[in-house]
Structure 1
């Protein structure tokens, strides 16, 4: 069975939560390393499963079923990446990625960033970068990287929608956007 590595960010608990480690262990999260960023909690998993999706969904279920905690999973891995992240994830130097971004190498069609466009540390959607890598012939369409990027992106969208107090409004906007984009609408 394949081993999948992923990170889940939690809310409802902090580094000061009493019994955090014991509760997560009792909830079958013994394949995760508990980490902290300030007082925020995230878990680095190495979980065996048939698919990445099954591994992540089972980890979310385990965490959120921990009876002694009020933990909730907010996100899985980073779906927004900077140039250094792209370099690390693809095994290419940051300088090479920067040349691709600037159009000095490749076709000059590197995707534009979606956040911090004017800042010194712009961010890209990882899924968009992977789609571009496939289109450029830099990775095969059937690579695990492509499937994993899609899974992470979709799960994060679902987690964001679940967390939104305005999920019905978001769904309304989504339906409205889709009906305006359909031919004959």
Structure 2
């Protein structure tokens, strides 16, 4: 068994959700930290399972059992260079050097936001690139490879 860390945004929950902690605990989310950012609620899971896919799917199932349906796996989306640095534990400067070609020529290209100056990258593509270069743990790579789980 491996311990997988991942985050799920609960888009149909808010801070005022009655008995939120109890509902989540009763549904099997006792291995998650409830977090709030502005008006958003998300859970940071540390779930043990045979595979990342099983860990993530079981968390989605638990959240549905708690009555939520609008769920987003954060590791399935896009990331800014700052978010990539935070997820990997590498410095923002190191990630920028990869992205601008100073440390590598084949870093994944942005998928969104180039015109606005806030480039966003596919976390799955970046995770794969970093994993191939031994800059990312196998657990983080496996979670990123799961993509969208429903």
Q: Give the structure-1-normalised TM-score.
A: 0.70
How far did 1:29 drift? Answer: 1.2
| Cα distance change, pair 91–26 in 1 and its aligned pair in 2 (3 A) | closer
Q: Is the counterpart of residue 139 in structure 1 residue 134 in structure 2?
A: yes
**In the alignment, which residue of structure 2 is the partner of 1:8?**
8
| Cα distance change, pair 85–40 in 1 and its aligned pair in 2 (3 A) | closer
The answer to which structure, 1 or 2, has the higher relative contact order (CA under 8 A, 6+ apart) is: 2
Q: What is the SS of the residue equivalent to 1:72?
A: coil
Distance 2:64 2:46 in 1: 18
For the 8 Å contact 2:52–2:139, the answer to whether it is kept is no
**In the alignment, which residue of structure 1 is the partner of 2:97?**
99
**In the alignment, which residue of structure 2 is the partner of 1:60?**
60
**In the alignment, which residue of structure 2 is the partner of 1:41?**
41
Distance 2:111 2:10 in 1: 24
For the 8 Å contact 2:11–2:72, the answer to whether it is kept is no
Distance 2:138 2:19 in 1: 40
For the 8 Å contact 1:9–1:43, the answer to whether it is kept is yes
Larger radius of gyration: 1
Q: What is the SS of the residue equivalent to 1:9?
A: strand
Distance 2:38 2:92 in 1: 28
For the 8 Å contact 1:60–1:73, the answer to whether it is kept is no
How far did 1:130 drift? Answer: 2.8
Q: What's the C-alpha RMSD, in Å, of the aligned pairs? A: 2.2
| Cα distance change, pair 12–133 in 1 and its aligned pair in 2 (3 A) | closer
Higher share of residues assigned helix = 1
How far did 1:85 drift? Answer: 2.1
For the 8 Å contact 2:60–2:71, the answer to whether it is kept is no
**In the alignment, which residue of structure 2 is the partner of 1:85?**
83
Q: Is the counterpart of residue 128 in structure 1 residue 101 in structure 2?
A: no
**In the alignment, which residue of structure 2 is the partner of 1:26?**
26
Deviation beyond 6 Å, 4+ runs, structure 1 = none
How far did 1:112 drift? Answer: 1.6
| CA distances 1:93-140 after superposition (whole Å, capped 9, x unpaired) | 22122122222222x222221111122321000111133335xx5139
| Cα distance change, pair 74–119 in 1 and its aligned pair in 2 (3 A) | same
